[in-house]
Structure 1
Amino acid sequence: MKYAEYIIDANKVEFFNSVIGVEEVFINNEKISSKFSLFGKQHFFTIGDDNYGVNAQIDLTGISVKVHKNGVPVELKNKHKIGILPLIALGIFGFVIGIASGYFLMH
Structure 2
Amino acid sequence: MDGDGGNWLTGIGFTTLTCNSSLEIYRSKGDAWSVAFVMSAYFAVLLLFLCLMLYMGAAPNEAQRWKLKIAIWSLLTFLTSMFLYKESELMLWPVPFFFKVI
Q: TM-score range by the shorter chain?
A: under 0.3
Which is strand-richer, 1 or 2? 1
Greater Rg by CA = 2
TM-score (norm 2): 0.27
Which is helix-richer, 1 or 2? 2
Larger RCO, structures 1/2 (Cα 8 Å, 6+ apart): 1
